[in-house]
Amino acid sequence: MKEFFNYLEFTEEIIEDIDTQIENLGSCKIPSPLKHNQNCFVTDDHKITLRVNYTYLKENLRQNKDVPSLELAGPRPYIYFDPSKAKVGIVTCGGLCPGINDVIRSIVMTLYYSYGVKKIIGFKYGLQGFIPKYGHEIIELNPEVVKDIHTMGGTFLGTSRGHQSIEEIVDTLERLNIQILFMIGGDGTFKAAYKIKEEITKRNLKIAVITIPKTIDNDIWLVSKTFGFDTAVQYACEAIRCAHTEAIAVPNGIGLVKLMGRHSGFIAAAATLATKEVNFCLIPEIDFDLEGEKGLLAELERRLERRKHAVIVVAEGAGQKYVQKDPPEYDPSGNIKLGDIGKFLKENIIKYFKNKNKEVIIRYIDPSYIIRSVPANVEDRIYCGFLGQYAVHAALAGKTGIMISYLNDQFVHIPIKEAIKRRKQINLNSRFWLSVLESTGQGILKN
């Protein structure tokens, strides 16, 4: 799985388009209060190069061109903010995901115990928490308040979707004298964070904006793996095993599992590889036909004739050409509302075999809300702890407009503007996806 997590397709066009320059609020002149060995500190000169293919690297060396490098995350020997005076805000936005509370706890504990920052507040219910008209309370955070939140799913601070006034958000930051803002969220949150940072710059304020990537779909660009993904795959596997058990218990049994993945099918594909019980894995990155000799229904019929049972896993964003409303509808965050591909497949499978006078028994499982609401597993919990710690180190050093990323086996700083340029998806020519095809034995499902 390590090859999969580290795999990002860096073409020459993409490499040339990446700006790795990190913005700083000013010079770091305050000695760090961390009692670490000097070897534990890093400076802005510590870089790691992006992994690129050999041909591109060779050509760059021939032309004496540098391969883009990323600033290494970690504690700095000197910091920008005075911890005794700094005031910090934390907000969580978007959908739920295992591990959010672990990140909140890690940020608070590192601020409080490592740096001595005592003024920490949490904004309730996402960006609504900044807007006075909603009347949401502000929570004072300290180790006692957050000590057990990692045992709970969801987000201790609450969340919301939808656009809010950037000007009003920054007004609140000014009014409350916030010097550092941590934003935990996905693509929509990052876009808002970038606008907040731009408004802060416009007003010549010294406020750091640090983001931590949160998306259960694992689709954020320039991040090897997002937190919550491991937990999601683990619970997805349980749903698949249940579907398989139901399918083999009856003649012509079909287990149908719908998993999360609006634009990227990483959860569906990884769970397919992990269980070895899936016969068809449908993801947003590749189209499929329903009807026809090579379509899904005909392939499913042949599978039942051979083995008397089948398991289908479908990502929620797959096959939207069949279920997308015209004109499309949008949620409060501006995302297109997806049609229910799971329900559509169930109904059409039943209809297909009924027209052929063949009896099938289909069990449909959608564990999405269960998966996204559970506490993080052990691996995600450790990962979230690191993310929170590295976010604090970056913030106290005066970094701003950045995302804390795990990329090429290292924690690094990525400009927010780069993270929102594109979306990470499965490369259909990768060893990872080819392994999925080999595991399921499915064809291309296209006529």
Q: Which residues are catalytic?
A: 217
Q: What are the start-end ranges of the H helices in 138-186?
A: 143-146, 166-175
Element (DSSP H or E) covering residue 375: none
Q: Say if residue 221 is exposed, middle or buried (CB neighbours under 10 Å; 0-12, 13-18, 19+).
A: buried
Residue linked to tokens 């039943």? 350
From CA 126, how far away is CA 329, in angstroms rounded? 23
Phi, psi of 161 (to 5 degrees): -120, 165
Q: Is 203 helix (H, G, I), strand (E, B) or coil?
A: coil
Cα–chain center distance at 181? 19
> Strands, E, within 246-394: which ranges?
253-259, 280-282, 309-315, 361-365
From CA 61, how far away is CA 367, in angstroms rounded? 50
Checking DSSP bridges between strand 78-79 and strand 30-31, what pairing results, if any? antiparallel
Characterize 147-182 residue by residue with b for buried, 16 or more Cβ atoms within 10 angstroms of its Cβ, and e for exposed. Answer: eebbeebbbbbbbbbeebebeebbbbbeeeebbbbb
Look up residue 336 and give its DSSP letter: B
CB atoms within 10 A of CB 137: 9
